[in-house]
Amino acid sequence: MRCPFPAVRLALAAGASLFACLPAAFAQGTLLPETVVSASREPLPGARVGSAATVVTGADLEARQSLTAVDILREVPGISVGRTGSFGGQVDVRIRGAESNHTLVLIDGIKVNDPSLGQSFDFSQLPAADIERIEVLRGPQSSLYGSESIGGVVNIVTKRGRKGLEASGYTEAGSFRTLAGGVGARFGGDMLKAAFHWNHLQTAGVSSADRRNGNAESDPFRTNVFSGTASFTPSEYFELSFAGRSSKSLGHFDTFQDGFTIPCQPNGVCVAVDDRSYYKFEQLFGRADATIRLFDGRLTNRTGINYGWTQNDAVGDVFPGAFTNTSRRRKIDNQTSLRLSTPDIANAEHRFTFLFEHERQSVLSSSAFGYFEQAIESKSYVGEYALALWDRLFLTGSVRFDDNDFFQDRVTYRATGAYVLRDWGARLHASAGTGIKNPDLFQLFGRFPGFTPNPNLKSERSFGWDVGVEKSFWERRATVDVTYFSSRLTDRIVVTQQTARNDIGATDIQGIEVAAKLRPLPGLELGGAYTWTDARDPQGQRPVRRAKHIGSAFATYTFLDDRARLHVNARFNGAQRDTVFFSDFSTGSVDLHGYVLLNVAASFKLHENVELYGRIENLLNQKYQEVFSFGTPGIAAFAGLRVRFAALQ
């Protein structure tokens, strides 16, 4: 059969070559860890995951000396990152060419997408020091997680308590008058375990508006984040768990010429320029779960409740007063799972999972232009079935019904499959499903006076699928995964000053994701990722800020009996389009050049518990833009000290 798309033929050819050129005798390996939490409503072993997924560990973050979690997401297949200006500027993460508010973000099981930001999540406020792992699930996941998961899910798990005591701390300083530090503790016994972390970052930053346009004023940023988790397990049948997170930030940003209050350039192009605008950003999240396990864990029931609060006060240099956005999200959920096995029939394992969720979100917005306050509620019902056959074929199917307040109810579905070829050291994986992005409160009711609500406004919808092969070889020292994906987005919501409507036509996206890791020598690990994305909007144009080619490569070498470590990574972002605004209020497009960022990090253990480290970012001193007319940091150097003490039981 002839493949209809050249990309499909390329992906299949790449997958076939892995089988053809590599011996069949090598055992299976996988890029995924032993367990992936977010790939299903219950944790799944990595080999059973049918969705395209990537897991980043705390060790990966430490090797790169990442201050913020978003840095390493640039190395994940299928992900593109855009930061608006200096440190603390809004960071958007897109998965497989979808919008940034099509990426669902969970932190310790709490949905942290901000209703006042159009359901986006600003990754600039997320430090890396307290993170145990990051799971990236690509493709529509709405049947599992509801709205905002058209592109995929980023699930962040922070460090948990442990038996005994482990205390750690770090401090570092560097370019742009940057100071960072944090402390943490993980402790516990047989029944009670807890972990707490505090992280601080302050920097003078660089100009958010590009210096090459004559902007010399730096935009400082400061943030403090406190996080904690705890669990109480009085018996094997019952567990209570808690997670909480609080952050406060203060950042300066530059404004954009609009041709009205600030004149644009002589050629009519409007660009970002220096001013004294700043914002204050606060977040508070919490979740509590009670879990009951019966019949040797075959029957589990978990009831959870979580609360999220976000406030963003932006004080502009042009308009009087402050723009204040406050959002709240409350949710209660109950999930029951039943596991059965039929060893005499295909050695089968069955899991049935049922979930109910009730969520209420509200937004309050005030400024010199008016006052806005609205709330919306929804109820969701989810069913999932997981089947394992002969310990090699693994299938899941799920369906979700969302009962919404102000717009049409929706049904979403998803199916996945994974097949393990142990004799070939390979795993086939595939998934297909639907996704939705519900209208947010500003799209439903408007932000300013004069907006006319549209009672016929519908959710944005998508259908996506992917198929791939993962192959290990060389006695499991090397693993490669190649995945082809395709999706179609319809009913895109377009907002004007007067109303909101659903766009006519569809945005079609297809692409190829490649990930590889290799351990050729003891202590040496090599890896890389590449994504080719072909996206076309209803007018046949490439959507803005979607580079066709994105790639990365890294090398980590540990030596001197694991006391010393050297890490090098290169991140490539190809050319992409962005929107340009003109003084006559019209818009156009501009091409942003591609760039390569080279980063080097090294560390040395002065003592078993003390480590000295340093890094150089943007070693080639690349001049580039991720958002039109906004600046980015040049070459920078940082050095720090990390201490860690452990007393295990």
pLDDT digits (tens, 9 = 90+) for 175-209: 999 999 999 999 999 999 999 999 999 999 999 99
State which H helix or E strand residue 371 sits in.
strand 370-389
Lowest mean pLDDT among 84-88, 282-286, 388-392, 521-525: 84-88
Whether 165 and 192 have beta carbons less than 8 Å apart is answered as no
Percent of the chain with pLDDT over 70: 94
- pLDDT tens for residues 269-287? 888 888 888 899 999 999 9
261 confidence band (pLDDT: 50, 70, 90): confident
Q: With DSSP H G I counted as helix, E B as strand and the rest as coil, what are the percentages for the chain, rounded to 5?
A: 10, 60, 35
3 confidence band (pLDDT: 50, 70, 90): very low
266 confidence band (pLDDT: 50, 70, 90): confident
Q: How far is it, in rounded angstroms, from Cα 460 to Cα 644?
A: 47
Whether 255 and 318 have beta carbons less than 8 Å apart is answered as yes
pLDDT at residue 592, rounded to an integer: 95
Mean predicted confidence (pLDDT) in 7-13? 46
What is the phi/psi pair of residue 108, to 5°?
Answer: 55, 40
Q: Which two tokens stand for residue 393?
A: 């074929």
pLDDT at residue 320, rounded to an integer: 57
Mean predicted confidence (pLDDT) in 546-562? 97
- pLDDT tens for residues 212-253? 888 888 999 999 999 999 999 999 999 999 999 999 999 998
225 or 455, higher pLDDT:
225
Say how many CA atoms lie within 13 Å of 602 toward its Cβ: 7
- pLDDT tens for residues 440-449? 888 888 877 7
545 confidence band (pLDDT: 50, 70, 90): very high
pLDDT at residue 21, rounded to an integer: 43
532 or 9, higher pLDDT:
532
Q: What CATH fold (topology level) applies to the domain 6-647?
A: Maltoporin; Chain A (2.40.170)
Residue the block writes with tokens 């008016």: 370
Q: How far is it, in rounded angstroms, from Cα 169 to Cα 454?
A: 52
- pLDDT tens for residues 345-369? 989 999 999 999 999 999 998 877 7
Give, in order, the Cα–Cα distances in Å from 27 to each of 290, 420, 421, 476, 515.
40, 11, 9, 6, 19
Q: Which two tokens stand for residue 395?
A: 């299938």
26 confidence band (pLDDT: 50, 70, 90): very low
Give the chain's length: 649
- Beta strands 299-315; 460-473: pairing state: unpaired
Which residues are paired to 554 by β-bridges? Answer: 527, 569
Question: For residue 550, which of 79, 155, 151, 145 has the smallest C-alpha distance?
Answer: 79
Q: Does pLDDT of 8 surpass 50?
A: no
Complete DSSP assignment for 318-349? SSSSEEEEEEEEEEEEEEEEEEEEETTTTTEE
Q: Does pLDDT of 648 surpass 90?
A: no
- pLDDT tens for residues 285-332? 999 999 999 999 999 999 999 999 999 998 876 655 678 899 999 999
- Beta strands 152-158; 103-107: pairing state: parallel
Residue 534 contacts by C-beta under 8 Å, 6 or more apart in sequence? Answer: 7, 509, 510, 511, 548
Number of other CB atoms surrounding residue 343 within 10 Å = 8
Average pLDDT value over all residues in the chain? 90
pLDDT at residue 259, rounded to an integer: 67
Q: Which two tokens stand for residue 120?
A: 């986006």
- pLDDT tens for residues 31-73? 777 778 888 999 999 899 999 999 999 999 999 998 999 999 9
State pTM to two decimals. 0.92
